Structure 1
């Protein structure tokens, strides 16, 4: 195995993270100015107004447009399943990928509802990563190559929703969270797809042993990713980074997608500024992880399905926010003065 200190594969990733830029201040200013003229009281649309600014700023253009929204679902398998951490056999990963491809999954119906593109990426499902309690999940070259694959997978999107599928990957998310943010393993594990109390104890034990095994290397976030991560997480990390470099705003799905994104935050604390948390899942540690990343979820629906479903739901709201901004009448176009409009509104409200 190669080490991060040798340079080589991970150096390119570090250089890209160092090269990221901020939002387009001019696009944000134009969005604010236009919003001030829309036929509504200032702030009346709440976070929807902020979403329009967010899209414009990170797309680096005005007006904001969402013409090619994509839900990207990355699927991988994990050697840690051998530790009894999952409620379902590993074969379910491939079966669910087939379900996505056949149009039968929940995410397919949400994408159909909101006119979102869906891309599903299988990542060597027949070759699970190594068991993180025994060895590093990936070597450096494989991890970097998988990140690069995720970077290329988002080509053409102007709004990216990242999601995943992988039996055992909530254990991986917990290991990454524990490695990056400390606490106890029990703070970061949850039922996932439905393990019982004994399964929950096995998950916490697996996380404890994995982090202890790799502890000497966990000061480097990319080493965290390759040692206690997995292929679908590496691909999502790469996709989120590429989106920043290509001026694409990102909606992060649930606990596993958030853990993948946390790698970039640990490298640079503004690296997720182009992202919004689509929702907070029912997986208990997700809320705590979002707080660590300073991300406020858009939705709180008690969902814990994964597969990009929460991100796809939130994308419907983001599309609505952009359409409201672009297509609402202004006071000028409606032939109504701002004071007259607000006065009429006050009369309507007060009767």
Structure 2
């Protein structure tokens, strides 16, 4: 889909060596040092920049909500988009706190929403119920990926972002995400599917049965990520995957949020191998499938705060760690410049 360059290992090694000259015991800043190396490899810069960050929240509805898989009705998707536009959601607060540009994209909400700040890119009014038919056509899945790419490239041009955070809003999207991961991982549904917005144990069992039925009827090809996205995925999941591919192609670090965002990240990596090299996992969600997805990407989360909100909230909370890693590189004295004796 997009050309993704290999990491700049030379720049990473230069940063690793430079860290040894800073006024601290070698390795004493732990993962912050590794984070600085990773950011150097991603950006190709010895002193990488991650500010300003950009947050893109993709919103879409899911036909599977008619199967009773969520604690909330699908109308909440549109209502929450309105809340985003008025500045009242968690991601609004957190975006302001880190100085992030924030964009809300309607890629498939079932209702019409007015708002000057809203990017309306509606492909359709939510996905189809994947227990009855494919969630979307292959062409619609590709369109979702392309919209994600286009929206990210606009943000890169207009807001000059140096780090991408993707978020989502879509009642029913943990069901689609769990279905995708069951297919891509080959793991039992029971080990992946969780409470989502807060359903009880009996509803979780029902949700698992719905996912099993959808996978059986749709038969998505695990070796074809776009087929998986089209048959059992979500429009906002496709949008996030496309956004991540665009950021990776532009050598911009991707700070990945929770379960749904990480599922999108996995699709992006399957579509363009090497995309995951540009990703950093912001936090570990309490959704049971999240740890599995993180392991599949070969990553470690930065935070574990017991969160499962989505919207990009956990990634936004983790962003100051990236900022700290870069600020230490650019602002800390070396042993020579400070006149401090280094170890023998």
TM-score, normalised by the number of residues in structure 1: 0.88
Q: What residue number does 2:268 align with?
A: 264
Which region of structure 1 is more displaced relative to structure 2, 144-153 or 266-275? 266-275
- In 2: Cα distance, 1:280 partner to 1:269 partner: 23
**Which deviations, in whole Å up to 9, do the C-alpha atoms of 1:62-96 show, x marking residues without a partner?**
31112321121111110000000010011111111
Structure ranking higher in helix proportion: 1
- In 2: Cα distance, 1:234 partner to 1:107 partner: 20
Given that 1:27 and 1:63 are in contact with CA atoms closer than 8 Å, whether structure 2 keeps it comes out as no
The equivalent position to 2:296 in structure 1, one of 292, 311, 314, is: 292
Q: What residue number does 1:50 align with?
A: 34
Aligned length: 324
Question: Larger radius of gyration, structure 1 or 2?
Answer: 1
1:236/1:125 CA distance change after superposition, 3 Å: same
- In 2: Cα distance, 1:216 partner to 1:66 partner: 37
1:79-228 alignment, distance < 5 Å = 79-126=63-110, 127-155=125-153, 156=156, 157-215=161-219, 217-228=221-232
What are structure 1's unaligned runs of at least 5 residues? Answer: 1-12, 341-351
SS in 2 for 1:217: coil
Q: What residue number does 1:20 align with?
A: 4
SS in 1 for 2:206: helix
Given that 1:240 and 1:250 are in contact with CA atoms closer than 8 Å, whether structure 2 keeps it comes out as yes
- In 1: Cα distance, 2:306 partner to 2:173 partner: 19
Given that 2:51 and 2:323 are in contact with CA atoms closer than 8 Å, whether structure 1 keeps it comes out as no
TM-score, normalised by the number of residues in structure 2: 0.90
Question: How much has 1:169 moved relative to structure 2?
Answer: 0.2
- In 2: Cα distance, 1:80 partner to 1:327 partner: 51
Aligned-pair Cα RMSD in Å: 1.5
**Which deviations, in whole Å up to 9, do the C-alpha atoms of 1:261-283 show, x marking residues without a partner?**
11133346543111111111011
**Which deviations, in whole Å up to 9, do the C-alpha atoms of 1:179-229 show, x marking residues without a partner?**
111122222210000112232122101110111112263431110011110
**Which deviations, in whole Å up to 9, do the C-alpha atoms of 1:117-150 show, x marking residues without a partner?**
2221111212011111111111121111111110
Q: What residue number does 1:40 align with?
A: 24
- In 1: Cα distance, 2:173 partner to 2:149 partner: 20
- In 2: Cα distance, 1:273 partner to 1:25 partner: 11
Question: How much has 1:240 moved relative to structure 2?
Answer: 1.1
- In 1: Cα distance, 2:205 partner to 2:247 partner: 37
- In 1: Cα distance, 2:285 partner to 2:149 partner: 25
Given that 1:180 and 1:266 are in contact with CA atoms closer than 8 Å, whether structure 2 keeps it comes out as no
- In 1: Cα distance, 2:65 partner to 2:262 partner: 21
What are structure 2's unaligned runs of at least 5 residues? Answer: 111-124
SS in 2 for 1:272: helix
Question: How much has 1:33 moved relative to structure 2?
Answer: 2.5
Q: What residue number does 1:233 align with?
A: 237
- In 2: Cα distance, 1:219 partner to 1:66 partner: 34
Given that 1:276 and 1:295 are in contact with CA atoms closer than 8 Å, whether structure 2 keeps it comes out as yes
